[in-house]
Structures are given as structure tokens and as C-alpha cells.
Amino acid sequence: MSPFTVAIDGPAAAGKGTISKAVAAHFDLAHLDTGLLYRAVGARMLQGQDPISAAHTLVAGDLENPDLRTADVAQAASKVAVIPEVRAALLDFQRAFARRSGGAVMDGRDIGTVICPRAEVKLFVTASAEVRAQRRLTELAERGFDTDFDTVLADVQARDDRDMNRADAPLRPADDAVMIDTSKLDVDAAIAAAIAAVEARRTG
């Protein structure tokens, strides 16, 4: 089967991870949350390792670390993602995964613009900062973290600023990406919109 790549980009807590997993399951495609690569590098940095060295020595097992979803690691991931040498070290891994036989769904922040600019389908999933902060607050509360809305909102906005204004591969929609704003969509509606966009390209 020829490769078929679905590139899904967007800011933190917009819903792209949930959508990506659902799209991958629906079309029986492999899935990679590329943010986990940067979180794994960030986690190693928090343990004292040089982030460039961490990126070059990353192994699949690092992606299984249960601490990768913590707020501290998320902030560290955003910081290491602005380092060009880190991005370069992870580039080949991501591109090889994207073009694997049978196809793949990739979600991140520069999949459609840098990693896979020729992806068959590109989606950009977004939502307002306030909606995303509330989602993240709920997620953190469910995991037992004690914080408040204003703190989480400030973290979301700071991360957006870093991601959108970094010199190397800033977060932005690809020119040919289908935009999906999940601010007022429930999970099922957001997934349905994404599946419809992919289906249109597969059968078009």
C-alpha cells in the first residue's frame, strides 16, 4: 500500500491528539504524537541531560515515560523545541514514520509546514486560549495536580508565544490546511469534521 500521510497541527490542548488517534483508528493508520518526542527530550533535560544529546540518543522506550504529560515536562518540551539542533535530530525519525507503508497520522506543530509539506491531508486544529486553558485545567485536576485557571491560561499563552514566534519552524497553518476550530465543538463533532476532511481527499 502506498504511503498516505495525514498531518495534524495545532496549539496545545486544541484537541489534535484526540482527533489524531480517532482518525488513525478510523482509517487503520499508524499514529505518532510528535510532541512526545520533544516531551521526552524535555524530560531528559529536566534530569540534567543536554537537550541536543538527548535528541540524538532518544529511543522508543523514552516515549513510554508516564511523566511525559506533566505540566513541567510540557514547558520543558516547548523550550527544547526552539533549539534548531534538537529539531534537526528528530526530523529524519518523523519523516520516516510519516511515509511508512500503509500510511500514518502525525500530530504536532510543524508537520504540514516542515516535516511533511507534501502530506496528502493537512489539518490545523485550534481553539481559543481560554477554552484550551479550561481543558488543560480539567485534565490536570483529573491527574491530581492542584492549580488554577489563571496560572494554566498564562502557561498556555506563554507556550503559544514561544511556539508561534520561534525562529525555526514556528507554529502556523499550512497554506493548504483544513482549519478545524474546536472551541464550540464537542469531541464527536470535532472528530467527525476531521474524518470528513480526510475522506474527501482519499476519495476525491
| Amino acid of residue 182 | T
Q: What is the pLDDT of residue 203?
A: 76
The stretch 30-43 carries a mean pLDDT of 93
Q: What is the pLDDT of residue 1?
A: 57
Which residues does the annotation place in the binding site? Answer: 10-18
Q: What predicted TM-score, i.e. pTM, was given to this entire model? A: 0.86
How does DSSP classify residue 53?
Answer: H
Lowest mean pLDDT among 4-8, 68-72, 125-129, 130-134: 68-72
Strand pairing of 121-126 and 5-9? parallel
Domain ranges of the chain: 5-198
Strand pairing of 5-9 and 178-181? unpaired
Residue 61: band (very low, low, confident or very high) from pLDDT cuts 50, 70, 90: confident
Query: Which pLDDT tens digit goes with each residue over 143-195?
Result: 888 899 999 999 999 999 999 998 888 999 999 999 999 999 999 999 999 99
Q: What is the pLDDT of residue 168?
A: 85
In the predicted model, what is the mean pLDDT of the chain?
A: 93
Q: Helices marked H in the chain — which ranges?
A: 16-27, 35-46, 51-56, 71-80, 84-98, 129-142, 149-165, 187-203
Q: What is the pLDDT of residue 21?
A: 97
Q: Are 139 and 70 in contact (CB under 8 A)?
A: no
Q: What is the pLDDT of residue 2?
A: 74
Q: What is the pLDDT of residue 54?
A: 95
The hierarchical CATH code for the domain 5-198 is 3.40.50.300
Closest CA to 82 of 174, 164, 152, 172: 164
Residue 57 pLDDT greater than 70, yes or no: yes
Point out which residues pair with 179 in neighbouring strands. 124
pLDDT above 90: percentage of residues in the chain: 77
Query: Which pLDDT tens digit goes with each residue over 82-117?
Result: 899 999 999 988 998 899 888 999 999 999 999 999
Which residues does the annotation place in the binding site for ATP? Answer: 10-18
